[in-house]
Amino acid sequence: MILTIAKDIRVEQVIQKSRFLCSLKKVATEEEAQAFLRAVKKEFWDATHHCSAYVIDETVQRSSDDGEPSGTAGIPMLNVLRKQGLTGVAAVVTRYFGGIKLGAGGLARAYGGSVAQAVAAAGIVQKVAVGTYTVTCGPDEAGKWLHVLYGQDRFPVSGVDYRDRVVIALSFPESRAAEAEAWLTDTFRREILLEHQGSAFAELPWNGGEDGTDGTDRQR
């Protein structure tokens, strides 16, 4: 399962007169994450700190306290991303010091809380491998087949090619290919074998499994 933020975002909160601005961005590589950090530093050049954390994948994960006491900023930020199971996300929390020291615990809560607030505002999506599959029928069957297929949304029709045989394209999460073949076979009362034509990633809303399903069920 691959989870990431639904959109890039920036949120701000004030804690004990210090301003904390959390900037979140989708990133595909460590180079993109570092470039994002540089851009935020340039934008807020007069800030006191630019603490950061990013998760590219399971092996590339980094954090920085940027002058704050060790372990009070970068790690709490990184832990929020890890706890949410996010990948491909960079977070930068910019602090304008307001004159009141927060202490180690207060800093950890402020930096971690800023990232948690931003993630909640951005929303989480699941990246799902969506495959395009084709099934073929005769011209005399096409009307009936298309009537049935357009009348359901579990396996959406993504294209129709009229030739000597009619080629119907369906697009849905690849994890449901066996289910699709079984449904087609049962519906049209003959064995149906889908031909896989290609794949692409799609982002589907993620509900944290609260309803006992994953995001792919939202295509039903």
Order across the sheet with 9-15: list the strands: 9-15, 18-26, 89-96, 49-55, 61-64
The encoded tokens of residue 85 equal 């199971």
pLDDT attached to residue 213: 46
Average pLDDT across the chain, whole number = 93
pLDDT band at 210 (very low <50, low <70, confident <90, very high): low
pLDDT attached to residue 204: 84
Looking at the chain, the whole-number percentage of residues with pLDDT higher than 70 is 95
pLDDT attached to residue 160: 96
pLDDT attached to residue 220: 38
pLDDT attached to residue 201: 87
First to last CA, the chain: 18
Per-residue pLDDT reduced to its tens digit, 12-47: 999 999 999 999 999 999 999 999 999 999 999 999
Mean pLDDT on 192-200: 92
Long-range contacts of 57-66 (CB under 8 A, 24+ apart): 57/87, 57/88, 58/87, 60/30, 62/30, 62/33
Per-residue pLDDT reduced to its tens digit, 102-153: 999 999 999 999 999 999 999 999 999 999 999 999 999 999 999 999 999 9
3-state secondary structure of 209: coil
Q: Which domains does the chain have, with CATH numbers?
A: 2-122 (3.30.230.30), 127-219 (3.30.70.240)
Kindly report the pTM of this predicted structure.
Answer: 0.78
